[in-house]
Amino acid sequence: MKKAMVSRGVLFALLWWVLTEGRNDGWPLGVVAVCVATWVSLKLMPPANHLIRIEGIFKFLGFFLWHSIRGGIQVAGMALRGRSALQPGLIALSVALPPGGPRILLANTLGLMPGTLGVEFSGTALQLHVLDERLPIVAETQALQAVIARLFGVSL
């Protein structure tokens, strides 16, 4: 817990320094903001045993970049074809990732991918809003879960 508190505190202090462009006159408020941000982050996302693996970072970034570009092209094509090209809906996905960082990364990554948005987590299910239900969303989400599992060094 102490290691997480120190590392997050340093991260938030660095963020404060960047946001204030290195000015020293903002540190009285900055110390309070850093302490509050650190405390809130520890309450909302307690430290877990999931460490990010360096080799998994490159696989995740490649997966994300490729699917973002491909998804952006698909969404642009749908927009050009009009409303008839869309078949929006909600899909319930089974999530095999452990709670905490891996699930949070999954939901946030899906929200950044074109045409998808995580709506609600309920147990081991994620409700996902999609622009077109006919696309292979379930298969792509399972592939993303595998990439995230590798990133965190967990087995599915």
pLDDT in tens, 18-48: 999 989 998 999 999 999 999 998 888 777 6
For residues 104 and 156, what is the distance between their CA atoms, to the nearest angstrom? 16
> So what's the pLDDT on residue 72?
87
Entry field: residues in the chain: 156
For residues 40 and 2, what is the distance between their CA atoms, to the nearest angstrom? 15
Asked if residues 87 and 133 have their Cβ atoms less than 8 Å apart, the reply is yes
pLDDT at 3 over 90: no
Share the mean pLDDT of the chain.
89
- Please give the model's pTM, rounded to 2 decimal places: 0.68
Contacts of residue 76, Cβ cutoff 8 Å, sequence gap at least 6? none
Q: DSSP character for 46?
A: -
Strand-by-strand arrangement of the 89-94 sheet: 89-94, 125-130, 116-122
- Give residue-wise pLDDT tens across range 85-114: 788 999 999 999 998 889 989 999 998 888
